Chain A
Amino acid sequence: MLGDSTLVFIAIGAIFAFSFYAVLVAGQLSLGQAGFAAIAAFGSVTLGPSPDQVGDLPALGIAIVIGMLLGAAASVVLGLPTMRLRGVFLAIATLAFAEAVRILIVNSESLGGAGGLAVPKVVTPAIAWVALAVVAYWFWRQGPSRYGRALAAIREDELAARAMGIDVGRHRLQAFITSGAVAGLYGVLWAYFVRLIAPEDFDFAAAIDGLVTAVVGGSTLFIGPVLGSGFLTMVPEVQRAVGIEAGWLRPVLSGVLLLVVILFLPGGLASFIPRRLRMPASTESETHGTLTTRTHPRPGDQVVRLHGVTKEYAGVHALRGVDLEISGGEIIGLIGPNGAGKTTLVNLISGLVPSSSGEVEVLGTRPGRTPVHRVAAAGVSRTFQHSKLFGRLSALENVLVGAHLVSRPTFGRRLLWLPSARRDERQALAHAARCLQRVGLGEKARVPAAALSYGDQRRLEIARALAADPSLLILDEPAAGMNQPEADSLSDLIGSLADDGLTILLIEHNVGMVMRTCSRILVLDFGELIATGSPAEIVDNPAVIEAYLGSAPDEERSR
């Protein structure tokens, strides 16, 4: 039943699915791969030497190099203008590109037009499976590397990934180029197997085929595309073998099977395979060097300086004329009624939104002008008011992503099995485990973030932010949803972090906790800084009592 061609189609179908997997792991939905494959197929056949001149294998090898380079180059050309697009917009833009390529080939006489180009058959099942093995190996090694985790983080929550210091644009483009090169490999193998390449082989239906294969197989485990291709290639084979009459019944059955898989296995066929989570060996945590190497600003050194900062959202003044300085080692509490502009202020400081006017300077960077990941690299790390964890990653992996800035890239060395990569990975794991233990989540390292209780999610956000070894830690309502004992232990944790030399900016509605924890308190009301001073001064400040404490502190606390 398993003929040569079936074996080849399983292998190259899986390779094509990998070109979708390459971007799906980073949360991108691209349909341009058929276009990359077409460029690679027609390009390599036109530019490469014929097998008659140099022999079968050398000709195929050269064609593969040409095809993968062309696919990668095409993906750069398409990727640079489209990488800002998200979701369905990216899908439409890339689909338009693939259609443009197809129509170009249809109208190109030198490429044979609709009639296509004849290509000698060179690819054998062995060649196809070796190529698949190489591609699968690549993605296997990519998964648990720093690069792979960064892509997963972008997929789960792009904003949080950016705040963890990941250069989202560069990572997305890298994933896109990988996809282009792999699609190119598919195009070449297809061309040198089917003997005639026609533009219709790379049409919309082909792109959908590849996407369906990747999704059915599963886009979170590297074996997924192989399973998907095996399944989808074998369905017609099995139908033929059991003698289902050729005709409309077979596509209907295939469709039903596909539906069943999608309905019952949202994670694809790969969800049958249990995911192995790497855990740090408990004994080695101290044997490796530490990843916390940053020299924090000394007490008195300027960490944050805001001068005349204003922020408007469509005519609404979220912040007006805020002047603020924070220096090393301070624990600053930021309080104020809902809508006072607290979150806007921390978004400005961490660089997520630019100010409308005024100067912002944080640890030597200019947030708003400096990209978010550079601000993070300078030592700013934060949690979010509404938890922005990487939901499908385990708690430990969340923290590992947090350690992106302080750990070393490991993907290239993992491909070569260099021992130093393993050492670096272990070190990062140990570091992440220490951060988890520090917030009291050591026992829950394996639990997916989305499955944690609300309080644990708040703590995990702190651990993730800590893993970046920040100089300025911004905590946006970390105690929300915590009971009093939990809030107390959080307060202790913040104190011990300050002892380590961190500067902390704490936004909190729990005024009691702010009073107890902070060395200085800022009060915002209607976008204006109405008071600043020690806890004792704030309590007695009439303006504060008027605006905030006097009005509804109990109501605020009970929320």
Chain B
Amino acid sequence: MRKTLTVATVAAMALTLAACDSESSGGGTDGELVGEGSGADCSIDAPVPVGAALSLTGGAGSYGESQRNGLELAVAHLNDADTGVSYELRVEDDQTDPRQGITVFEGFVDGGESVIIGPTLSNTAFQAQPIAQEGGVPVLAISNTADGITEQGDFIFRDSLTEGQVIPQTVAAATEKYGLENVVVMYSNDDAFTESGYQVFADSLEEEGVQVADTLTFSVDETDFRPLLTEAAGQDPDALVVSGLIEAAIPLVTQAREAGIDVPIIGGNGFNNPQLMADAGDAAEGVVVGAAWNSASDSPENTEFLAAFEDEYGHQPDQFAAQAYAAMTIIDTAVRHSCSGERTDVQDGLNNISEVPTVLGSVSINADRDVEHEAVVQIVEDGEFAVLD
């Protein structure tokens, strides 16, 4: 019995301590979310509840953290601007676990959130987003790049370009720039994101008429690429084409340069991370990366975002943060469209996003509920991403 009490006491204490920063759950009652006016003049009394299911811990934890920063910065900006509509952001962690993803989505649907952002990973998206679709809650995916995300239903939108939208441009630009004829492709085949990236690379290379001398696979956890690189070097390629996550990109690029491979390395979305230059240093020079977000863009939105993010978090944002930040711009526009935070009104608003200026550039949402905006092909020069031209 004594043990029972000990356990119960410890558990209760842990929960009570942590409950101090408890906040009321979002969700306005009927009618509160319908405002007056329209567009820029729209004014809604209650804050519009926005739920975000992100992978803050677990395998995809680094992406989720970046997304949370982007979202929190965007919500702070929108609320500080005091333009009649405010937002209450509730970020939940799916722990990179489908069970948590599903449960969190269910919580948002039952909890009255007007719109749900996330989840971080495409696989979790297929497991969790249908719950919002069935519950009639609009979802704005901010990092899902897999095919078929928005085909799940008319409540599912995204502001993340698919690999199919970015990679063909990257391959075309690199082929033209370097006159590629013969390449070696490397990818991690046990990750949904990098595998689908590889498919697009393979198709694009074929379309451009580039020969693939060899295709090498590795595992997402791998950090030693020397044997694979030796094999690749034996093919004497014009470039290495790699679909891998940032965790693989850094050692791979470093080891390739150490092994004397100085041909261009063309990476997928996983390479699109300032960490690459920070950790790989000089080895990252000459890496070509297609991106949905042009970090070097000098649009007013982007310039302001870069400065504010650096100011708040002490480092440069990555594309995940930028897409998260843009999501709030898009949602704000959608809410103002009917001047209502009701779920179907937000859905309607998202269907009418057209040429909205965001940190990603001028963004539209097409009839398939996929985002359309310009992608950018970048090259690492002097430790920074520059536009490849």
Contact = CB atoms under 8 A, between A and B. Distances in A.
A265 B123 CA distance: 37
A316 interface: no
A12 B287 CA distance: 46
B92 A246 contact: yes
Given A116-B192, A242-B22, A9 B14 contact: no
A121 B7 CA distance: 38
B56 A257 contact: no
A5 B98 CA distance: 11
Residue of A201, A238, A246, A253 contacting most chain B CB atoms (<10 Å): A246
B196 interface: yes
A103 B188 CA distance: 12
Interface in B253-277: none
Interface string B162-195: 0000000000000000000000000001111011
A265 B18 contact: no
Interface in B81-117: 91-93, 95, 98-100, 102-104, 106-107, 110
Given A114-B190, A116-B123, A260-B11, A244 B18 contact: yes
Interface residues of B, number: 45
A35 to B, nearest CB: 15
Contact of A200 (B19, B99, B102, B123): B123
A348 B167 CA distance: 73
B3 A114 contact: no
Contacts of A260: 6-7, 10-11
Contacts of B126: 116, 118, 195-196
A100 interface: no
Given A243-B23, A264-B7, A238 B127 contact: no
A114 B54 CA distance: 20
A142 to B, nearest CB: 28
B102 A194 contact: yes
B103 A238 contact: no
B57 A3 contact: no
- Dominant SS at the A interface? helix
A237 interface: yes
Contacts of A243: 18-19, 21-23
B15 interface: yes
Nearest to B105: A5
Residue of A194, A237, A253 contacting most chain B CB atoms (<10 Å): A194
Interface string A250-286: 1101001100110011000000100000000000000
Interface in B1-15: 3-4, 6-7, 10-11, 14-15
Residue of B22, B65, B93, B99 contacting most chain A CB atoms (<10 Å): B99
B190 A106 contact: yes
Contacts of B6: 260, 264
A542 interface: no
A106 B198 CA distance: 14
Contacts of B139: none
A5 B22 contact: no
A108 to B, nearest CB: 11
A264 B3 contact: yes
Given A195-B126, A196-B123, A5 B103 contact: yes
B315 to A, nearest CB: 18
Nearest to A121: B130
Interface in A220-264: 233, 236-240, 242-251, 253, 256-257, 260-261, 264
A200 B106 CA distance: 22
A137 B106 CA distance: 30
Nearest to A112: B192
A4 interface: yes
A248 B16 CA distance: 17
B141 interface: no
A337 interface: no
Interface of A: 3-6, 9, 103, 106-107, 113-116, 118, 121, 194-196, 198-201, 233, 236-240, 242-251, 253, 256-257, 260-261, 264-265, 272
23 contacts: A9-B102, A9-B103, A113-B195, A116-B123, A121-B130, A195-B130, A196-B98, A199-B190, A200-B190, A237-B103, A239-B15, A240-B92, A240-B107, A243-B23, A246-B93, A247-B57, A250-B57, A251-B95, A253-B14, A256-B10, A257-B11, A260-B7, A260-B11
Top-4 shortest CB links A-B: A243-B22, A246-B93, A196-B126, A244-B18
Given A114-B191, A194-B102, A257-B14, 18 more contacts: A107-B189, A114-B192, A116-B123, A116-B192, A118-B126, A201-B98, A238-B15, A239-B18, A240-B92, A242-B18, A242-B19, A242-B22, A244-B18, A246-B56, A246-B93, A247-B56, A250-B57, A260-B11
